[in-house]
Structure 1
Amino acid sequence: MWIDTHCHLDAAEFDADREAVVARARAAGVSQIVIPAVDARNLGRVRELAHEHDLTYALGIHPLCVMGAKPGDLRCVAEALEQHGGDGRLVAVGEIGLDHFVAGIDADTQQHFYVEQLKLAKRAGLPVLLLVRRSADLLLAGLRRVGFPHGGIAHAFNGSEQQAQAFIALGFKLGFGGTLTFERSLQIRRIAAGVPDTALVMETDAPDIPPRWLYKTAVQRETSPGQARNESSELPRIAESLAGMRGWTLAQTAAITSANARVALPRLPRQP
């Protein structure tokens, strides 16, 4: 059975058919989905969805949301972590991190929210879901400065081989998804093929990061606005790319990546 370690099931793109999205995921063999929060306003929503659908969740403020955050939003995260610390469905602090790809987001503000949320995760005894986007070295520096001991997942990993090894050395797994399905994603595919078996987890980041068969080019988007929605049911097909790179069967890929996910996120429920 598969574990989607990163899916924004609360996103508006799923409002019309969320029940069906979860049903399709289960029919495809995805037994567990982690739903990360992105700002203080959806902390309650991700928890609600996790309980409603027998899934799991993470609490945090996304680096792309920090510019719109209010002064008390970090306190909201802290209070939610304290209030729900005994909730077995709460598996991590996230989605947090640094995004140095998108322009217009103050680097110091991102850094402040990142470090403060690392401290909250350390206090709560929870791993983190880290967005890594042209920011690996600064993320690693923050982990070392805080002395973060709980590891987690480097989500949508796109750094270098050296940076991959540095995250692994700090107890992190590397999250891979739809980008693996593009033959031109040479570095990401090389890292996914070469890191230790124990370092890999699967994710969709749905509704984002569509795999090759759902992707639309700029010309296609111009003539037919919108991009096909990614969802958790695509995970096994995405994983075929990883299986091919590593010489694994699909069953082996599911078993290995799911076991790794449970190491990274120890609160994930065990299969009966």
Structure 2
Amino acid sequence: MKRRRNQWAALAGPVLSAVLLALGPPAAQAEPAVPGAALVVYKSSIAVVARQVNVAVAPAPLPTPEHLTPVAPVLVSPQNGERLSTVAPSLTVNNSNLGKKGQVRLELSRRPDFATVEWRFVPSYFQGVNSSEWGRNCQEGTTYYWRAQSTTDGTVWGPWSSVWSFLTPSGGAVAATPTLLSPPNGSTVSTLQPTFRWAAVPGATLYRLKFGDMALRLAQTEFVPPMKLGAGETVAWQVSARNAYGWGVPSAEWTIITPAAAPPEGALP
């Protein structure tokens, strides 16, 4: 039996070698297909970035200048450390460094860390120099701090500017209280666009008219609303005046009643 096994082994060796020789060397296995890749270079106004990407998939765009954080506006006035002659200053900034229209957020505080804010205001979009007024008096003989930041889209706000301070005066006299003239208090007017009139205040440079939910700053002593008031409504109105030192005490509040329906064209107020 042992001799027969040796004979089979001797015969199998040459046969197996012949078969392998006929088949040839084993084929090299192909590597798995890999999606083509390329080195893509992107350039923007702030950086050059190189990365390996799949050319079959569009890469995410890099940030463009429009999406970058806007720079802080430049504070103009009151100057840092300035001693003012008015208790009703305007805050003036310049956002020309944005290169386009934007908004500015102003903050006014009696604390340099702005832990409490006396006034926060965001004016409409503008480009260049813009002044905003609180519309009320600061406390006399008090140091105030103010700062500003910018946005170009109303969502992404840039860093705060440096913090400036100013000192308000004391001992001055504000404007006197205006005297309302017409329409008479409690009267029913004949038009939805009545003329509000009040007496001039000596030394006044500006008036603030409040009627309904509107508030306007005016240099003149009368005003006709450009839009019609609501029909059949009771509308309250009052006026305050400002001189070089500050805003005076507002007038008493008067009311008018608008007509129930729009009057015919050409009707007098």
- TM normalised by structure 1 equals 0.23
- TM normalised by structure 2 equals 0.23
Structure number with greater Rg is 2
Greater relative contact order (Cα 8 A, min sep 6): structure 1 or 2?
1
Structure with greater proportional helix content = 1
Structure with greater proportional strand content = 2
